[in-house]
Each structure stands twice: as C-alpha cells, then as structure tokens.
Amino acid sequence: MSSVHFDGYPHVICAQQFSRKWLEEEFLPLTDEMEEIFKLGGCEVLKGKRMFSFFYQPSTRTRISFQMAMEYLGGRTVFATENAREFSSARKLETLRDTFLVINRYRPDAIVIRYDHDIGAKFAADVSRAPVLNAGDREPGQHPTQALLDLRTIFKCRGAIDGLKIAMVGDLDKGRTVRSLSYLLGKFSGIQLYFVSPANTGMGEDIKMYLHKHEVPFAEHTDLRVVAPEVDVIYQTRAQTECGTLLDMSEGYFIVDRTITGLMKKDAIIMHPLPRVDEITTDVDDDKRAVYLTDQIDSGLFARMALLKIILAPDA
C-alpha cells in the first residue's frame, strides 16, 4: 500500500489531506472490503490494538460508529470518556496538549478526539505519537470522517462522483459536515454545487475561495424547490439550534418534504449527517432515495473501519 499513513502523516485531521488518488484507489475499495467483513460478522485484524476515545462533549452517534468500527475489526476501545473537558475557558489548548502528552505515555494505538473549542484535533496531533482521528471540530470547523463517509455514500448510491450536481441545504456557515465535504468534492471533476440557505447563514468565504481555485462552480439559492429537480444529491443539514425551531421559512424554502421529493429526480438521493430536527419531515424517511438512516450510517461504519485498518494494520 503506497500511501500508508496518508503520505507520512499518521493522523486524520481535515478533509484536505486526502488525495483523489488515495480516495479512489485505496479508500473506496477498502470500504467495500470492510462491508464484506461486517457482513461476515467481523474479523480479528486489529486484535490487541487499543483505542482511546476522548470526547470533550457527548456524541452518541459518532462515538458508537468509531467504537463499533474497532469492534468489528477485532480491536478494543480501552478507555472512553464524554467528559474530557476540564477547564471552562482559559488555557484550554495548553491543557489539551498536556492531556495528549500524558495519554500517549500509555501507548494507545489510536486516539479519537472530539474537541469543543477551536481546532483541537490538529493541536493534539502535533504532540501525539499515537495517530489522532478527528471526530469533529467545534463548528465551524471540520469533520473529516463524516466527509469520507459522505463521499462513500454518494459513490455507492450513484456509482461515481465526477459530474454530479449536489445541493447543500441549511445552516451552511456553521456546518462542519458540508464544509469538509466541499473540500473533498473539490478534488473531483464536473461537480456543480448548489448552496441553499437563508442569506445570513450562507457558505463561508473560505470554502468559496477553495471552490473557485479548484474550478468547482457553485450557485446560491433560497428556494429548494427550484434546485430539487436539478440535482443528484440533496445534502440537508441541521439548523444549529437546540430548540428545534424551523429555519425561517419566510426567507425561502429549506426543508425536505413531500413537495421536494415530488420534484426530485428518480435516482437522486437525500442525505443528512444527523441528528435531524425538523428539516426533513419524517414522511420522507420511507422514500427509497432517503439514505440518511440507512446507507449513510453503514458507510460511516465502513469508512471508519477502513481508516482504522489503514492506520493500525496497513500491511495486514
């Protein structure tokens, strides 16, 4: 395997670090192998390997996906916490650095981190001997393993990435998943992006600059009904609110409902990183094009299994 450890960098920190070559020739084929292993009930390729799971905020879904990826490869999560947070504000990154220096003394084989402040994973990786896997920056930031699983989901459902028209919908300026996915899509050809959001939560300028540089055309919209008939993928995201209120519908049309599914292509797909609040109505769940509770979850497991396999047993 030529690019073990991502060309010498042993950590998974941001979407930019992956080359198209690696994505196509190593990552995607390996996720299929992982799917086979899962269907067979797992394997023992990571037997004896120890993973730490350090979450500075609870995250049931991402944490379980990483732990089950380790489980189905025969490795073990020997320490997990959702309470890693120690101080409320000051000197947080210095404390994170100390923490990673300390836990490396126990010789873990991998450390999964979700940090709640700044870009902690990058900072942690800089002092870590053990490979660090970023399980999600604080928003806005990145969520690289989500981007990889999203790419894998699209590839499996559509058979290719090149040439696709993809709508990203919702609170785009804070959404780490759409930000990371944009970085990955920028490596492919013929992609057209549609950003559908209220004006004040549009996609960040840094991502737009990146897309310009990589010659990925994008357009900004406020009505998903206009975009739905055009696209191959609708990637809906959660309004970044804890109160469950809808996006302000007076500003446009941002939810995926039966109206939208009625407008979509037959072979398009609907994705969502979860948790969902109101932005996809539940009567859409049984639509065959809705993959957020099925294929997208499975691809999450297979993508993380693939990453752990590459990092912890590259030659096995």
Residues serving a catalytic function are: 61-62, 92, 114, 143
**Minimum distance from residue 242 beta carbon to a copy of itself (Å):** 6
Among 54, 115, 123, 218, binds a copy of itself (CB under 8 A): 54
Write the CA distances from 160 to 189, 191, 205, integer angstroms. 11, 11, 27
Q: Based on the shown chain and the rule CB under 8 A, indicate whether residue 67 belongs to the binding site for a copy of itself.
A: yes
- Strands of the sheet containing 76-81, edge to edge, are 76-81, 50-55, 110-114, 132-134
Please say which residue, 127 or 226, places its beta carbon nearer to a copy of itself. 127
**Minimum distance from residue 276 beta carbon to a copy of itself (Å):** 6
Q: Based on the shown chain and the rule CB under 8 A, indicate whether residue 32 belongs to the binding site for a copy of itself.
A: no
Q: Based on the shown chain and the rule CB under 8 A, indicate whether residue 50 belongs to the binding site for a copy of itself.
A: yes
Q: Single out the segment in contact with a copy of itself by CB under 8 A; choices: 15-23, 180-188, 256-264, 275-283.
A: 275-283
Q: Based on the shown chain and the rule CB under 8 A, indicate whether residue 278 belongs to the binding site for a copy of itself.
A: yes
The most distant pair of C-alpha atoms in the chain lies apart, rounded to whole Å, by 56
Residue of 152, 141, 75, 148 whose CA lies nearest to 114:
141
Nearest 5°: phi and psi at 224? -65, -25
Find the binding residues for a copy of itself in span 184-203 (CB under 8 A).
none
Report the alpha-carbon distance of residue 116 to residue 216 in Å, rounded.
31
Among 2, 89, 200, 250, binds a copy of itself (CB under 8 A): 89
Find the binding residues for a copy of itself in span 92-111 (CB under 8 A).
94-95, 97-99, 101-103, 105-106
Q: Note whether 148 and 26 are within 8 A (CB).
A: no
Please say which residue, 35 or 232, places its beta carbon nearer to a copy of itself. 35
Q: Based on the shown chain and the rule CB under 8 A, indicate whether residue 286 belongs to the binding site for a copy of itself.
A: no
Please say which residue, 81 or 259, places its beta carbon nearer to a copy of itself. 81
Q: Based on the shown chain and the rule CB under 8 A, indicate whether residue 71 belongs to the binding site for a copy of itself.
A: yes
**Minimum distance from residue 72 beta carbon to a copy of itself (Å):** 8
Residue of 34, 94, 102, 96 whose CA lies nearest to 69:
34
Q: Based on the shown chain and the rule CB under 8 A, indicate whether residue 45 belongs to the binding site for a copy of itself.
A: no
Please say which residue, 272 or 309, places its beta carbon nearer to a copy of itself. 272
Burial of 141 by CB count in 10 Å (0-12 exposed, 13-18 middle, 19+ buried)?
buried
Write the CA distances from 67 to 16, 110, 259, integer angstroms. 24, 12, 38
Please say which residue, 9 or 106, places its beta carbon nearer to a copy of itself. 106
**Minimum distance from residue 232 beta carbon to a copy of itself (Å):** 24
Report the alpha-carbon distance of residue 248 to residue 145 in Å, rounded.
30
**Interaction pattern, residues 223-242, with a copy of itself; x per rule: CB under 8 A:** -------------------x
Q: Which residues bind a copy of itself (CB under 8 A)?
A: 50, 52, 54, 58, 60-61, 63-65, 67-68, 71, 78-79, 81-84, 86-91, 94-95, 97-99, 101-103, 105-106, 242-245, 274-278, 282, 293-294, 297-298, 301
